[in-house]
Amino acid sequence: MYDKAVALETYLRTNFTYNVNINPPQDQELVSWFLFRSGKQGFCNYFATAMAIMARTLGIPARVAVGYTNGSPDPKTHENVIDGTDAHAWTQVYFAGYGWINFEPSAGFSQFARPTAGEFQPGSAPTVPPGNLKSLGGPRSKIGKGVEANNISAPQTTPSARAAAVGEQIGYALGAIILLALLALLFFSIWWRRLFRNYKMSTRIIARLCLLANWAGIDLRLSQTPYEYAHALAAAAPAEAVTIERLSDIYVREIWADPHSPEHPRRSGEIGEMESLWQRLQPRLFLYVLRHPSFLLALPAGAWRGFQHWRAQRGQIKQIKPLDTPDVPLNSENV
C-alpha cells in the first residue's frame, strides 16, 4: 500500500506542472478536469485532492490536509513572514499502526522527510557501576582523634559500650528515614491514583506518560503533535518504543477519529487494551525516571520561584490593607 501511495505521488510530481494561473470550467468536476483536460497543470488543491481520490479508488484511506508553508525570511526582523499566499494543501494516507502519513504530490514542493529503516533500534540500557560503601570505622576514628587532640575529657566508657551507643543512634536514624520514605511513598501513591481522575482513561494515561517523561527531562513542546512526542519518547527509550507508540495511536484515534467508524478504539475494542499496556509500561517508566532524575535539578529553582511569588503576594496585601482598618475576615456579608 505504501508503494502504491508513493507511485501516485511520483506520478503527479513528474507529469504535472504547478501553476496558479488557471481557469477551470464551472460546469465540470474539477478533479477529472485536472487529470484529463487541464493540460496537466494546476495548484496544490488540485494535486492534493487528485491524489486523495486516486488513492481511494485503490481502497487506500486518504484525506486532504491544509496549512501553511514556512513563508519567507524577513532580514529586518530575522523572522519568517507567513501570509495568505503561503497557504498549502497536501495529501495524508492512513497506515494501520502508524497513523496519517504525509505525502507531497504538488510539483515544485519538497517532499516530506521520513526516518529510514532501522534508524531507531532498541539498544542496551546504560549500566551504573555500584558505589563504594563506607564503613562506620572511619568517622568514629576521626572523632576519637579530634577529642584527643583538643584534650577534651570523654566519659569513661568501654569501646563496646560506645559502639553499642553509636549503633543505637544509627538505628534510630535509619528507622526515621525509612518511616519518612514509607510515608512519602504512601502520600505519593494516593496523589498519583487521584491524578487526572476527572478525565477519561486514554487522556489520563497519556497525561501521566507525559508527566513521567517531563520528570526524566523529556519536555513536551507546544508545537509537537502526539505522534511526534511519541517518537521522541521512543527514541529516548527504544526498549519501550512499541508500547509508547501503540498507546499514542489509540489515544489519537479515540480523540479525533469518527466515533461511528469501525476503526474507532471504542468500537474496535482497542480502548480496553490501554489499561493492560499502561500497567506493564508504568513501572518501567518509573525506573527510567529514577535513572534520569531531571526533576531533582528543577526542585530548588521551583521552590525559590514559589517563595518569591509568596513574598510578592504578601507585599501586595500589606500595601492594599488600610492602616486604621481592623483585621476582619472577608466573607459574603462584609464583602
State whether 168 and 254 are in the same domain.
no
Q: Tell me how far apart the alpha carbons of residues 69 and 44 are, in angstroms, rounded to a whole number.
A: 12
* Domain assignment present for 42: yes
State whether 209 and 225 are in the same domain.
yes
**Spacing of C-alpha 203 from chain mean position:** 13
Q: Tell me how far apart the alpha carbons of residues 332 and 317 are, in angstroms, rounded to a whole number.
A: 19
* Domain assignment present for 20: yes
Beta bridge partners of 73: 80
CATH number at residue 66: 3.10.620.30
Tell me which amino acid residue 62 is: A
Alpha-carbon dihedral angle through residues 226, 232, 233, 236, given to the nearest 10 degrees: 180
233: domain range?
201-294
* Domain assignment present for 312: no
State whether 9 and 82 are in the same domain.
yes
* Domain assignment present for 268: yes
Q: 48 near 105, Cβ under 8 Å?
A: yes
φ and ψ at 91, to 5 degrees?
Answer: -110, 145
Helix (H) or strand (E) holding 79: strand 79-81
What grid cell was written down for 148? 584527643
* Domain assignment present for 310: no
State whether 70 and 39 are in the same domain.
yes
State whether 87 and 54 are in the same domain.
yes
* Domain assignment present for 34: yes
State whether 179 and 224 are in the same domain.
no
Three-class SS of residue 101? strand
Please list the pLDDT of the chain residue by residue as tens digits (335 residues): 999 999 999 999 999 999 989 888 888 899 999 999 988 999 999 999 999 999 999 999 999 999 998 888 888 888 999 988 889 999 999 999 889 999 999 998 888 888 776 666 555 444 434 443 333 333 433 333 443 334 434 445 677 777 778 888 888 888 889 988 888 888 888 888 888 888 888 888 889 889 888 888 888 888 888 888 888 888 888 888 899 988 989 899 888 888 888 888 888 888 888 888 888 888 888 888 888 887 776 666 666 777 777 777 777 666 655 544 444 444 444 44
State whether 212 and 187 are in the same domain.
no
State whether 213 and 281 are in the same domain.
yes
State whether 185 and 244 are in the same domain.
no
Task: Give the model's pLDDT for residue 202.
Answer: 85
Task: Give the model's pLDDT for residue 118.
Answer: 66
Q: Tell me how far apart the alpha carbons of residues 249 and 97 are, in angstroms, rounded to a whole number.
A: 7
State whether 7 and 99 are in the same domain.
yes
φ and ψ at 124, to 5 degrees?
Answer: -75, 140
State whether 261 and 289 are in the same domain.
yes
* Domain assignment present for 18: yes
Domain boundary among 194, 212, 245: 194
* Domain assignment present for 6: yes
Task: Give the model's pLDDT for residue 134.
Answer: 36
Domain boundary among 152, 172, 194: 194
Cell 508504568: give the residue.
282
Q: Tell me how far apart the alpha carbons of residues 123 and 234 are, in angstroms, rounded to a whole number.
A: 11
DSSP 8-state code for residue 133 = P
Cell 502520600: give the residue.
187
State whether 55 and 16 are in the same domain.
yes
DSSP string, 57-85: HTT--EEEEEEE---EEETTTTEEE--GG
Domain count across the chain: 3
